[in-house]
Amino acid sequence: MNNKTRIGIKTGIITLIIIVNLLYVSSANIGVSPANVYFKDVLRGGYAERIVTITVDSEEPIKISLEPRGEIVDWVSFEEKEFEVSRNKPYYLKIILQPPVDIPNGNYTGFLRVTTSSKNKGVEGQATGVINAALDLYLEVKITDVEFSSCRAWDFQVESVEKGDDILFKVKVLNEGNVRLYPTIKIDMWDQERTELVKQVEFSEDMIIPTTEKELNIKVESSDMNLGQYWAEITSIECYAAQTLTFDILEEGALKAQGNLLRISSPTWIKVDDTTIIEALFENTGEKNVNARFKGEITLGSRVIQILESELSSVSIGEIETFKFYFTPRKEGKYIVTGMVFYDGKRTFEKSTVINVEKKGFDIGIIRTILIYLILLIVIAYLAYKIKKEKRRNNLRWKR
C-alpha cells in the first residue's frame, strides 16, 4: 500500500469519525423517576395508576414514545403514547393498569420502554442529529381477589363568605384501597361559643377510583345563618380523619371580588394546518371565591376567524385558573388573539397575543441530516473503492 493510498484511507476514516460524532453530538440524556414501579394488591378486573416523571437534559423539545412489554403488556395504558419533553418541562406520565377479571392471582412483571427520537424535528436552525436513546422502566404487579378499603384525608379548608353565598368546604382524599370509594364527609357547624349545633350536613356523592386522589368540594347554603363567627368540625368517616376550622358569615359587600388576566399565551410561530394551544391565565386576587369565564376572539386582518368562550369556572381565593383553547389555522398570516375574563359582575383588562402562521416547507434540520448521511455514504463508498483498488494492485504484484 503506497503512501498516497494510506493518506486517502486515513483521511476517509477521520472524515467518517467526524460525521458519526456530528450525528450524535446532540444526543440527550433521559431520566425516569422512580426507576421501578410496584402495583400492590390490584384487584382482578380492578384499576390502579401511578405517576412517574420523565426528564431530559436538552433545552430543545425531545419527542418521547412509549412501548409496554412483558406479561402485563395488554393491561397497561397511557393518556398519551407520544409527547415532548425538555429540560424546563418534564412530563408527568400516568401509568394506568387494568388487569382482566379472569387473571389468576400472583405476581406479574413487565417493563415500559421509554424511547427518544430525533430532536431536529420542528426546530429550525438548531444542531442536527438522530437520537434513539432508550430506557426501560421496570413494572411489577401483584394480583389479588381480596377486596380492601383504605384512604387518607388531609388539607381541610373553608373560607369566610358573605351572607347568601355558599360556604365552600374542601378536603383532599386519596383512595389507598383496591375498590371504588364513596367517602363520607360530615360537617358539624357550631356557634361562636361552640355550645349550640347550628347546622349539620353529610356528603358522600363523589366516587374515587383506587390509587387516585381527589379534592372534594362541599357547598353549604348560608342564607339561613346569622352574621358572625362559626366553628366547623369536618370529619372524613372512612379515612378516620377530622379537623376543626373557623369561618365568618359577613355582610353583603364585605368581601372584595378582584381578579387579573395575567396573560394570553401561545406559540409565536406555527405552520398552516398545525394545531396549537392557546392559554389564558386568570388569577383571583380578591377576598372571595368567584365564578369566571373567558371570552375572546381570533382575528386575521379585519376578519373574525374563531370565537373563544369558556365554560363558567369556580376560582378560589389566590388560585390561578387556566382557560385552554385549540386553534388550527388554514391560511398563513398574522393572527391576533384578544380577550378578557368576566367574573362576579366585573371584567378584567383586555389582553392579546400574536400567532404568526407560515406555509409548511422543508425542515432545515431534516435536510442537514439527509446531507450528512449522503456524505457518509460517499465516504464509505470511497473507502471501499480505495481498499478494493489496493487489493487488486497487491494481487497483480503477487502474480508477477
Of 317, 267, 273, 311, the residue nearest 292 (C-alpha): 311
Give the model's pLDDT for residue 133: 78
Same domain, residue pair 9 and 107: yes
**What pTM does this model have?**
0.66
Q: Is residue 375 part of a domain?
A: no
Show which of 250, 282, 309 is a domain's final residue. Answer: 250
Give CA separation, 114 vs 50, 111, 288, in Å: 16, 9, 45
pLDDT tens digits along 37-85: 999 999 999 999 999 999 988 888 888 999 999 999 999 999 888 898 8
Q: Which domain holds residue 244?
A: 151-250
Peptide bond into 99 cis (omega under 30): no
Same domain, residue pair 198 and 111: no
- Strand (E) positions, 148-265? 151-158, 161-162, 167-175, 185-190, 197-203, 213-220, 228-236, 241-250, 259-265
Q: Which helix (H) or strand (E) holds 16?
A: helix 3-24
Number of domains observed in the structure of the chain: 3
Same domain, residue pair 122 and 30: yes
Q: Is residue 339 part of a domain?
A: yes
Same domain, residue pair 136 and 186: no
- For the segment 375-381, the average pLDDT, to the nearest whole number, is 81
- For the segment 289-305, the average pLDDT, to the nearest whole number, is 94
Same domain, residue pair 234 and 157: yes
pLDDT tens digits along 252-275: 888 888 999 999 999 999 999 888
Q: What is the overall mean pLDDT for the chain?
A: 86
Distance CA 355, CA 20 (A): 38
Helix 364-399 and helix 3-24, axial crossing angle in degrees, nearest 10:
150
Q: Is residue 168 part of a domain?
A: yes
Whichever domain contains 282, its CATH number is 2.60.40.10
Q: Is residue 33 part of a domain?
A: yes
Distance CA 123, CA 100 (A): 43
Of 214, 211, 180, 210, the residue nearest 50 (C-alpha): 211
Q: Is residue 335 part of a domain?
A: yes
Q: Is residue 379 part of a domain?
A: no
Give CA separation, 398 vs 4, 6, 243, 335, 385, in Å: 21, 20, 97, 76, 20
Cβ contact 114:135 at 8 Å: yes
- Grid cell digits, residue 78: 397511557
Give the model's pLDDT for residue 40: 93
Same domain, residue pair 36 and 130: yes
Q: What is the DSSP letter of 181?
A: B
pLDDT tens digits along 115-132: 887 544 444 444 344 456
Show which of 204, 226, 250 is a domain's final residue. Answer: 250
Give the model's pLDDT for residue 21: 52
Same domain, residue pair 10 and 127: yes
Same domain, residue pair 155 and 228: yes
Same domain, residue pair 246 and 284: no
Same domain, residue pair 171 and 207: yes
Q: Is residue 387 part of a domain?
A: no
- Grid cell digits, residue 243: 379537623
Cβ contact 232:188 at 8 Å: yes
Buried b (16+ CB within 10 A) or exposed e, 168-193: bbbbebbbbbbeebebebebbbbeee
| Residues in Cβ contact with 172 at an 8 Å cutoff, skipping those fewer than 6 apart | 153, 154, 155, 213, 214, 215, 216
Distance CA 177, CA 55 (A): 30
Same domain, residue pair 7 and 123: yes
Show which of 226, 250, 274 is a domain's final residue. Answer: 250
Q: Is residue 332 part of a domain?
A: yes
